[in-house]
Amino acid sequence: MIIIALGSNIDGPWGPPAATVLKALGFLDGEECRLVRASALVETSPLGRIDQPNFVNAVAQVETAMGPEALLEHLHSIEAMAGRRRGEKWGPRVLDLDLIDYDGLIRDQPPPILPHPGIPDRAFVLAPLAEIAPEWRHPVLKQSAAELLARLGGKSEGAILGPRG
């Protein structure tokens, strides 16, 4: 199962954050990738730097013949089309696409590190992931997204504020 997290918190050429995430989902369903399913959009508090707008987040499952490196490049090209300029870590962004899991592959050599190291602490990934793939299990921790989310006990990065979109 290949899982991608999507997020946006500032307007870009594709419109406001919700429109940007939806447009990005469209780009994940093309020749290089096939969108299998996507979560609802959720509004979340920012991670790290809190003096910025809330995020709109979603999670998608895709199928692709691309390897993880090529898929990461593809994700970066979608971000660039949306106007993403890499800069401040955890700062505002028009679009952020993260490769969360690639068929359970475990590796610590970038790029990309798999599974994404932030998964266990990020409600904004875990809640939508539990929605679309309740059978998914973390490749290292062997827990489902719902189990990892429950383990956070309200102490998570990027708290869920509610549905949006």
Q: What is the pLDDT of residues 73-103, one digit of tens each?
A: 999 999 999 987 776 666 788 999 999 999 9
CATH classification at residue 144: 3.30.70.560
Question: Would you name the residues annotated as active-site residues?
Answer: 84, 93, 96, 98
Q: Which helix (H) or strand (E) holds 100?
A: strand 96-102
| CA 145 to each of CA 4, 9, 18, 36, 137: distance values in angstroms, whole numbers, following the listed order | 14, 24, 23, 18, 7
Of 124, 115, 117, 114, give the one whose Cα is nearest residue 156: 124
The answer to whether residue 158 scores a pLDDT higher than 60 is no
What is the per-residue pLDDT across 30-46, written as a single tens digit (0 to 9) for each?
Answer: 888 999 999 999 998 88
State the residue range of the domain holding 83: 2-164
Label residue 106 by pLDDT band (50, 70, 90).
very high
Q: How many domains does the chain have?
A: 1
Question: pTM for the complete prediction?
Answer: 0.90
The answer to whether residue 49 scores a pLDDT higher than 80 is no
